[in-house]
Chain A
Amino acid sequence: MKLKGRYSGMLSDVVSTYGVMFLIMLVLVGAMMAMGMINQWSMLHAEAAYIASTMAKFGGYTDVAASSLSSFCSETGMDESKITKQVSARGPVMRGTVMWVRLSYPFEFKICPSLPGFTVPISAKAYGVSNYLSGTPIAGSVYVNP
């Protein structure tokens, strides 16, 4: 962009300025949506870790985990029907068994609802070790299907 004459480069300056601004805006919007995705991903990890800890305590996927997941969804605005839950075992499992839970969620990249977007699957896996002793009374928790 070296100015040689009196008027040469003026138009290209104008075009490149807008082009650079457009590029910066594009990256900015993309980065903001990526930030939202990473936030949701971190939250999903924390929730998976919590569910894994309840699974470790009660020896399986109980209604404690299910109710914590539904309150998590209502607080964060995620759609619970879109979350796919996978667990290593429904329970109760033997003490000392390593168990895991995986939550997957399709994150939508969308600027506004009318424009078409695309989805990126995010998933979080967390482990726990069953600390359940058979015969221990578990107050108010029953094993449910995830």
Chain B
Amino acid sequence: MYIAFFFIVFVLTWALAQGAKIKATETYYNFQQALDYAVSELTTGKEYDVRLEQSKVTRVFMLKFSEMLNAAPSGSRLTPRDSSYPGPIDVVSIRGIRKGESIPGGQAKQEGFYAEISVPVLRCNVPLIGEKYVTVPMDYFSVVQPIGI
């Protein structure tokens, strides 16, 4: 009898994990789109320097990403207005990377911006400790691809 109980608990846990995975994947797609736009807006049709545009890219990215997630940006944190995410999303860093500099996973072959965020996907109430989030760290390197005007 116990084996059936364990089996059902296992399947339920698996379903919960799959739901969290789908949520995280969905967020990652949107994160890529927002960063790609922010990078291309700041580098299209003008002279740029990736280090100097860093704060502007961060600002545009926060604006567009918060509009996508229906969240309120404050500092480096996006607080969702509805219950689509269990907690606030942290924008850890956005860095301008020059050609040849090292990024996680190798060397940058082209200029771009490297961003890291951490997204909460599950919330659990741990007794005696309090609320804990299961967060998924995400990173993305968006290369500069200006549109010719």
Contact = CB atoms under 8 A, between A and B. Distances in A.
B1 A131 contact: no
Contacts, number: 72
B11 A129 contact: no
Interface string A41-75: 11001100100110010000000000000000000
B52 interface: no
B25 to A, nearest CB: 6
A77 to B, nearest CB: 20
Interface in A13-55: 16, 20, 23-24, 27, 30-31, 34, 38, 41-42, 45-46, 49, 52-53
B92 interface: no
Contacts of A124: 26
Contacts of B11: 27, 30-31, 34
B22 A41 contact: yes
Nearest to A56: B33
A91 interface: no
Given A98-B67, A98-B68, A56 B37 contact: yes
Interface in B43-92: 44, 64, 67-68
Chain B interface size band reads 20 to 34
Interface residues of A, number: 30
A130 B63 CA distance: 14
Given A49-B29, A131-B36, 15 more contacts: A24-B4, A24-B7, A31-B14, A38-B22, A41-B22, A49-B33, A56-B33, A56-B36, A96-B41, A98-B67, A98-B68, A100-B68, A127-B33, A127-B34, A131-B40
Interface of A: 16, 20, 23-24, 27, 30-31, 34, 38, 41-42, 45-46, 49, 52-53, 56, 95-96, 98, 100, 124-129, 131, 133, 136
